Structures are given as structure tokens and as C-alpha cells.
Amino acid sequence: MFKFSDLTIPVIQAPMAGGVNTPALVSAVSDAGGLGSFGFAYSSPEKIDADLKATKALIKKVPNTRINANFFVFKEPVMPAVEEQQQALSDLKDVVDSLGVTVATPKSPYIPDLQSMLEPIWVHQPEVLTFHFGLPPQELIERAHSLGISVGVTATSLEEALMIQSADVDFVVAQGIEAGGHRGIFDPHGVDQQLAVRDLVQELDKHLQIPIVAAGGLMDGRDVRNIIQSGASAAQMGTAFLATNEAGSSPAHRRFVLTKHELGTAFTRAFSGRPAQGVKNKYMSLMEGKTYLPFPVQNNMTAPMRQWAAQNDQGDYQSLWAGTEYARARAMSVAELMASLLNEYQAAGR
């Protein structure tokens, strides 16, 4: 089973769905003594199988199973009334018609079935399996454990963390409000306590018996050291890796992260239907106060726009997920970043 003590530096490269995580990125993090991750939320079983094979072939310095595979867990969306569906489509068309992009209300199934997505996991048996948005069925946790796979689940509050611990999960990922990407709150329409990562880690540390991984706004080795001293066993870092050479970030995503610091970040449901934090761009501003369909219906509905934006290098219409500290991202290789993190981490401990 995976142990945090096996890591040279207590850093987990965050799972980031949508192509940012590549075999080159994940393998380089694991080779450098961290834990590389895939965000497989929208991937087909065939893509998952290919990515795991490619990554295991690239990893040289550690056991070739040191990979974290991450998936979303959510209920089948309940579609609103037809009038609301039509309003959401109309609001989106108001934005994309001028781009020459055609959008339509998608039909179910919206993403591959979780059970089929997990089939390559049972074959390749990465060391870690994590879930976002909620708890997976108990039988999946038990099956992972039977294969020697450790399981982690994201929490944004003490209440969620206690539910995770009760489900015999191995560790909890404490997601602070600073974190980029999708908010891991179990109920996206419930009250979000919006706790800062340090406050959340310290609160969980008082009540949990399982390890805590901290996520949100952690960008350098000093941040890692400080959050470990607050009670975490490891730091999960996503935004810090967005501008690395091996990341699959689009040119526009990389450019906005490195240069558009005046924009700041904001939460929006406009891309996917669930609250997610990214660099505040034109699309997010245009869609404020508009109607959105539930996740992942809205995500599928905006896919043609996001694909057009990627093809035309238009950052204003891409989901540029990033945390609040994105201005501190560094453009370098993963090996260089991991070496810098380790040096900073060690220096902060002296």
C-alpha cells in the first residue's frame, strides 16, 4: 500500500482533468520523488488504459505503480424544466454565435460510466485511487484495498471529512478555497464554508485519525513545509505545474497563468455547471448572472466553444482553471521544479 513516507518530498501533483496531466508530467513527478496524478474525469476507458501504460513505461526511478488516478463521483443530473433548458441554451448562444460556434443541449450519457472507467485501474493497479465531489460506492473502496490500492477522497469541510473517514478511506484531500479547478464540495448547491486551506487542515487534524493532504494555494517548498507543520501529511499542487514543460496546458492557458496576473481568479458555473475557480476571462464575465444547466450537462454544452478556443488560441473562451496564487507559477521542467521545491522545503526546515 502507498505510504506518504515513501515520498522524497511530500508533494502530490494534482489531478487536472481535460488534458493537463500527461504521461510525461505524471512520470516526471513520480521520478523526482513525488506522486504524479491523472484527472480521468472525462476520459474513455481506452484513453485511461493508454495513459497508464505510457506512464508506467516512462517511470524509471520508483516502482512503476506510483500513480494517482482520480475520478469524479456524482449523481445523474436532474434536468430542469424545458423553459430553463431553453434559457441556458439561449444565454450560451448569445455568447458563442459571434464566434461561429454551434451549440446544442446534449443528451445522456454525458461522460463514460464510472464502473467502465475503472476497469483499466483494476488491470494496471496504480498505487493510489482518488475521488472528487463525493464518496464512491463502498464496494469500489473494498475492491481497491483488495488489490493493494490506497484510496483518497476530497473534503471541503469537517463534515465531509468525517464521512470520508467513516467509509474506511485511507486519506482525505483537504481542499481550501484557494484551490483552482472544480470545488470538491459534496453538494454543489449546499452551503460552502469556503475555508482557507490552513484553517481546514488544522480543523481536520483535531478530529481525524487518517492522513490529510492539503490542497489550495501551495506554490513553493516553503508553502509545503508550512502546511506540513499545520498537520498535513502532504501537499497537493496543481497550479504550480501548469507552466511546466511537460504539462498539457494549452498555449493560452499557459500564457494567461504566466502573464495575466491583473485578472485574478473567480469561481464560475458557466463552463461546467459546477463551481470551479480559474483565471477570470471574458466568457466568465459575459456569463455572470446567466442560466446554467447542471454538471456535466453544461460542460458538454460548452465543449464546442472550448474546442474552438483551443484551436484558435483564444484564452477568453477556455476554462483556464487555476488557484488564487497562480501569479507564482514557474515556467521550467518538472525535474527543475521538483528540485526547487525540495531545496525550498529543506531550507524552510532549517
End-to-end CA distance of the chain: 31
Q: How is domain 4-348 classified at the architecture level of CATH?
A: Alpha-Beta Barrel (3.20)
Cα–Cα distance between 128 and 40 in angstroms, integer? 13
pLDDT at 9: 96
Question: Which residues of the chain, if any, have pLDDT below 50?
Answer: none
Residue type, 276: A
pLDDT reported for residue 141: 98
CA distance 12 to 237: 6
Q: What would the pLDDT profile of 149-171 be if each residue is shown by its tens digit?
A: 999 999 999 999 999 999 999 99
Does the reported pTM lie above 0.75? yes
C-alpha 48/C-alpha 10 separation (Å) is 25
* Residues 39-83: tens digit of each pLDDT: 999 999 999 999 999 999 999 998 888 999 999 999 889 899 999
Q: Where are the domains of the chain?
A: 4-348
In the prediction, which pLDDT does 223 show?
A: 98
Q: Pinpoint the alpha helices (H) of the chain.
A: 23-31, 45-58, 82-96, 114-117, 119-124, 138-146, 158-166, 197-207, 221-229, 251-259, 282-286, 297-311, 334-348
How far apart (Å, rounded) are the C-alpha atoms in residues 8 and 131? 24
Give yes or no for a contact between 323 and 242, defined as CB atoms under 8 angstroms apart.
Answer: no
pLDDT at position 201? 98
Cell of residue 118, nine digits:
475503472
